[in-house]
């Protein structure tokens, strides 16, 4: 599905970073950042422009190709890795920041991934996330049609219990990110630190 979605010349989620990331990246300590399910590169390129050493992982080769092109055209370096995040080893205590922007993952796989996220962050490392909540189904402005891949404030607090939340809110906001995320959306936003 993702290779097909990313195969056009158009950046289907745009080339600008996610608003929540753009407004809050400074919570992430300087150093190494891992971007999960990066897609076409917009968030990784933005972070590289802010001086971070960025690694971006995605399962779509078409998305990675576009990300590499965007990084080159933006004059920054990003390490792109083609991998399935369900199987990918995030390592231990090696990322100053991990970013997840609209990554639709079924709950069982997500819980396993979040255990890896907690292990992979350095001390004082930050996990920054924006995801659609189940309320998003009433808007139909992105995020698919499965509640199973959506997240709530309550779920995040439970699934990332090893982190300290600086920010954890559910809200409705206007999202303009390419052709697949446009309009009012119901989201959960989180900034959590490993102490």
**Is the full-model pTM beyond 0.75?**
yes
User: Structural domain of residue 143, as residue ranges?
Assistant: 2-193
* Per-residue pLDDT at 1 exceeds 80: no
Please answer whether residues 128 and 21 qualify as being in contact, where contact means their C-beta atoms are separated by less than 8 angstroms. Answer: yes
Please answer whether residues 183 and 141 qualify as being in contact, where contact means their C-beta atoms are separated by less than 8 angstroms. Answer: yes
Question: 168: domain CATH number?
Answer: 3.40.50.150
Q: What is the pLDDT of residue 6?
A: 82
* Per-residue pLDDT at 131 exceeds 80: yes
Instruction: For tokens 């600086």, name the residue.
Output: 166
Q: What is the pLDDT of residue 9?
A: 81
Summarize pLDDT for 55-65 with one digit per residue, the tens. Answer: 999 999 999 99
Phi-psi region of 103 (alpha: psi -120 to 50; beta: other; left: phi over 0): beta
Summarize pLDDT for 32-72 with one digit per residue, the tens. Answer: 999 999 999 999 999 999 999 999 999 999 999 999 999 99
Q: What is the pLDDT of residue 107?
A: 94
Environment class of residue 136 by beta-carbon count within 10 Å: exposed (0-12), middle (13-18) or buried (19+)?
A: buried
* Strand 181-193 versus strand 121-132 pairing type: antiparallel
Count of domains observed in the chain: 1
Give Rg (Cα) of the chain.
Answer: 15
Q: What is the pLDDT of residue 58?
A: 97
């Amino acid at each position: 599905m993702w290779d097909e979605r990313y195969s056009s010349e158009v950046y289907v989620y745009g080339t600008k970073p996610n608003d929540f990331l753009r407004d809050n990246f400074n919570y992430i300590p300087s150093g190494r950042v891992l971007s999960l399910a990066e897609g076409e590169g917009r968030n990784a390129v933005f972070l590289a422009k802010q001086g971070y050493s960025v690694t971006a992982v995605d399962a779509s080769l078409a998305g990675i190709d576009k990300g590499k092109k965007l990084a080159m055209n933006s004059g920054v370096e990003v390490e792109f890795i083609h991998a399935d995040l369900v199987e990918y080893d995030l390592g231990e205590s090696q990322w100053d920041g991990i970013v997840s922007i609209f990554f639709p993952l079924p709950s069982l796989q997500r819980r396993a991934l979040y255990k890896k996220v907690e292990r992979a962050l350095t001390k004082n490392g930050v996990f920054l996330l924006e995801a659609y909540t189940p309320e998003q189904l009433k808007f139909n402005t992105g995020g698919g049609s499965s509640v199973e891949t959506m997240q709530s404030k309550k779920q995040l607090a439970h699934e990332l219990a090893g982190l300290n939340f600086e920010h954890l809110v559910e809200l409705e906001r206007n999202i303009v990110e390419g052709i697949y995320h446009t309009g009012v959306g119901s989201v959960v936003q989180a900034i959590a630190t490993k102490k």
